[in-house]
Structure 1
């Protein structure tokens, strides 16, 4: 591999990396949950926040204003002071990631495969099924903001462009995205600015991890989400992104809509649309997109070391959820288990260990918004009927445009389940402002059915075989072209499993 050897460089400080990452976001949570699964430990969705139904119920009784404040506090608690920006070090963050998978924590010296790339349901559930680590391409750091302006993106860009440039200059192998989403992140943006660090290269820490922990002849699996988004370039490898995948269409962030106007009015904003900075191009989405430069390096690394390559190629992160659900269903049937309970889990409110131990089929929802609802609906219309369909949602502290009400999720589950359907773990009186939900969701998942010992991990060959049966196995030279759904046309891009 390229880069300095471990003997000739100082080892980055993983404890410092843990201090840097914003622990409530998708990629960081995936690392913690997968590492906990591999080590046989329960991992709360936020470190230091144990599961407690009783505590959750107390929190849910607080007045709505206090519950909204709880989301603001959660965002601020994960944020760095501005004078700490110079200490942001992607190698230290990578060291924290690999430390989570240490032999001391997981009891495993080597792995038959490693998963690297853009977070999605595969990062949680396929990694768990294979018994392998997930190494994220993108991680989030948050910085305290004393002058927030959620509905003035031009002000936010100007205020934070120097910070994005500084982070990029100090970390030459990443792109830095200043993420500004006043629709979905509104409560947490009250006093915080968000920066996503997207790796274009492996770096020394991930290189060393592969060299030391990936078994000879093992597989490197990349999770490749091709979704792009409009950005404004603010420096060399630094960008501003207004909005993200959620309830609003990409176009609405830039041109407005009636439902956006209604939302801003309800939130007490003086604005009725956002005056977006002029876009300079399209890049892989800051949170969900995959930078293909990393795949090119991994191809070279695999050839040099005799490892094999696989790719899960999709456009939006939920596109492969149906494939993963059917893969689990096939696994359970081969084990002689029942396969008639679907457990839909949303964003980071999930648990692979409980899912497998209860023989539940996972379906990952990106969010609790209309686009995710439609993808789940389409799956239920096309698959063999389930006896039970249970949906665990996510509270983000704001009634964002595109929100699907709890009653509609329950109706969907009830309509398609032959015996039992509904939403679990949510307070119906406060959703999506249910600040107690992170304390309650695991108890709800654990209660869906009886538990059994976990089966032996699956292999990459098992995915290869099922991908051929399912009809998504393809060669790298025959990948379909993907087209982003910017204006809500209902585009569905095909999913591909490459290399099997």
Structure 2
């Protein structure tokens, strides 16, 4: 078996839906918890591959970086097959992951790691709006105009086959530098619920139940490529949006470290700002949610926030409230990065979850602000998602360690080899297995927080956070 297959994982997903993307992993994590199951190996790797995966860090770094590039390429669809990619099949796959039983509420909307923990806390499904369609193609990561032309030439068959989505083509030559060599990123956002989601709501929502619209309003400069099609350079993380388009010292130094031929990216002026490709909420979906809620007599709640990381402090403090009511310790924080989320073990160990969107300096700043505005923790532990490149704005393992040291008693990493970060490919296996070794506490899994209780708390405390809870 080729080493590149380590990242290709389970092929049970529909054509065009990758295993490695945040949305896919978040759905699997949320659904696993609702089924009462642990979430090992990002839901991707077959258990038989685990011993092999644990030896990857012994390879030279250049081979490890090749794993990211080739592993991603293995998940891409051919441009010639874009007209046969059906986003409704993605939505069918999502609802098939969840147990079919009655729920007091269902979350619909933005992708968000803290949203996975909110789903677990309430014991309810989360139905994502955004999906990634990775498309195979060869492109130098700094050839931005080439990728724009390529996307413009290949988007039409996909958009014709999927008239109910918007396409946010994304190219990040910084954080996704290894992957974009072989993949074009077609991020799609559903403008309607679609048959699968609508039927799921009618089947599982209890009479008078609630649809929670999860709405991240984060936006980004973008280039208009036509009806329902835009191009976004860069993504949330280590650089400000304008830096990608205008250049900066950070970018110049990064490109020099990469032995690139340029010191800034040649890209057309953006036409304006639109919702961020990976995390932002397409408001057209809300109209369809409102329609279904009105027709079926559901309540509708809207949870709005500007930055995807704004949800993390709110969810963390909800867990503290929940644990306190059940006479548990509220003093252990478990920071989980990007896709490395594990709700089953988080709750089993009595840990308070805090989701870091990535491992950048801005993520450490968000977390530092949280720690300054909440009661001190006795213990803080974290995992670090490794993306195989020392990207501009990346926070080092030492920077993270200094932040974790704010704990009053113990701190450290879980499943992460700080000496190998960000080339630590093995973290995708170890993030789950090491929890039981590094966090010794054990608690029974409690029943979900009653939705009425959550509704009351959300209405009272969102003013303390960067959130809006709207009826």
TM bucket normalised to smaller: over 0.9
Q: Does 1:119 align with 2:111?
A: yes
Please, which of 412, 422, 427 is the counterpart of residue 422 of structure 1? 412
Structure 2: gaps spanning 5 or more residues? 1-10
Contact 1:115/1:223 (<8 A) preserved: yes
Please, which of 27, 35, 38 is the counterpart of residue 39 of structure 1? 35
Structure 1 stretches of 4+ with a deviation exceeding 3 A read: 49-57
Query: What are the equivalent positions in structure 2 for 1:304-343 lying under 5 Å apart?
Result: 304-343=295-334
Q: Does 1:128 align with 2:128?
A: no
Contact 1:230/1:282 (<8 A) preserved: yes
Aligned to 2:421: 431
Q: Does 1:186 align with 2:158?
A: no
Distance 2:203 2:233 in 1: 40
Deviation per CA, 1:127-184: give whole Å up to 9, x if none.
Answer: 0111111111000011111x31210111110012122222112111100111100101
Distance 1:71 1:168 in 2: 28
Deviation per CA, 1:232-275: give whole Å up to 9, x if none.
Answer: 12221111111111101101100101110111111121111111
Contact 2:334/2:352 (<8 A) preserved: yes
Distance 1:361 1:92 in 2: 35
Contact 2:337/2:383 (<8 A) preserved: yes
Of the structure 1 ranges 37-46 and 294-303, higher mean CA displacement relative to structure 2 is found in 37-46
Could you tell me how far 1:326 is from its partner in structure 2? Answer: 0.7
TM-score, normalization: structure 2?
0.94
Query: What are the equivalent positions in structure 2 for 1:90-239 lying under 5 Å apart?
Result: 90-101=87-98, 106=99, 108-145=100-137, 147-239=138-230
Aligned to 2:86: 89
**Matched residue SS, 2:95:** helix
Could you tell me how far 1:401 is from its partner in structure 2? Answer: 0.6
Of the structure 1 ranges 46-55 and 306-315, higher mean CA displacement relative to structure 2 is found in 46-55
Could you tell me how far 1:471 is from its partner in structure 2? Answer: 4.5
**Matched residue SS, 1:453:** coil
Aligned to 1:362: 353
Aligned to 2:378: 387
**Matched residue SS, 2:236:** coil
TM-score, normalization: structure 1?
0.88
Distance 1:128 1:109 in 2: 15
Distance 2:101 2:82 in 1: 35
Could you tell me how far 1:368 is from its partner in structure 2? Answer: 0.1
Could you tell me how far 1:121 is from its partner in structure 2? Answer: 2.8
Distance 1:446 1:314 in 2: 33
Could you tell me how far 1:466 is from its partner in structure 2? Answer: 2.0
Distance 1:358 1:53 in 2: 23
Please, which of 48, 54, 60 is the counterpart of residue 57 of structure 2? 60
Distance 1:469 1:258 in 2: 44
Could you tell me how far 1:81 is from its partner in structure 2? Answer: 2.1
Structure 1: gaps spanning 5 or more residues? 1-14, 474-492
Contact 2:13/2:19 (<8 A) preserved: no
Could you tell me how far 1:469 is from its partner in structure 2? Answer: 4.1
Gap change, CA 1:202 and 1:270, over 3 Å in 2: same
CA RMSD after TM alignment: 1.8
Distance 2:433 2:411 in 1: 18
Aligned pairs, number: 459
Please, which of 443, 467, 477 is the counterpart of residue 433 of structure 2? 443
Could you tell me how far 1:386 is from its partner in structure 2? Answer: 0.8
Deviation per CA, 1:287-333: give whole Å up to 9, x if none.
Answer: 11001111122122112211111121101111121111111001000
**Matched residue SS, 1:326:** helix
Distance 1:221 1:292 in 2: 14
Distance 2:354 2:49 in 1: 24
Q: Does 1:467 align with 2:464?
A: no
